[in-house]
Structure 1
């Protein structure tokens, strides 16, 4: 057994944590326009929260390295779809600001 046998698992956990942290920051940036009073911005922020919660649920056990991975192979595609969804919501926010 080599000295670095646990390193791949640790790198994977750290990568999932970085992904969740990045998506959390993106979510927080998307929440800012929701307080302008426009209904469209509030709805987009609500959708962003739902997408973030799905990604969080899909990736949390992988990110923390705790417990069995209930979603198994689905956590990575769900995270990718969630990240793409948050990016599209960001584009919607930007396009909504351009008149």
Structure 2
């Protein structure tokens, strides 16, 4: 039997088996966190290794702040996925914040390298 349009299982339908999808999603969040950590560390290393300038220092601090913001968002999502059961959907606000942190961190890190 097909599920109704509202997404609720119909009568006689089996509950959804998510399989390993929540674990794969949790691991993807961890990989992205690791990547952003590497970018932030390299950005701060670049600031400290070269002659410190005001612009470089601001960019390095911004990279650190963006990394902390993304780390907070990712940790919250990883905990929700690890809690078991059906995890709540990622809100558009949190998704947009995660994308903004990731892109801004990449831009800041690239600006420091160039």
2:27 pairs with 1:14: yes
Q: Which runs of 4+ in 1 moved over 6 A?
A: none
Task: Name the larger-Rg structure.
Answer: 2
Q: Deviations over 1:44-80 (max 9, x none)?
A: 11011111111111111223435687x7443322111
CA distance in 1 between counterparts of 2:58 and 2:45 reads 12
1:38 maps onto 2:53 in alignment: yes
Deviates most, 16-25 or 76-85: 76-85
The answer to whether the 8 Å contact 1:51/1:86 transfers is yes
Which has more helix, going by share of residues? 1
Unaligned runs of 5+ in 2: 1-13
**Is contact 1:59–1:76 with CA below 8 Å preserved after alignment?**
no
Aligned to 2:97: 78
Between the aligned partners of 1:94 and 1:39, the Cα distance in structure 2 is 15
TM-score by length of 1: 0.76
Aligned length: 93
Uncovered stretches (5+) of structure 1, i.e. residues with no partner: none
CA shift in 2, pair 1:45/1:94, >3 Å: same
State the Cα RMSD in Å.
2.5
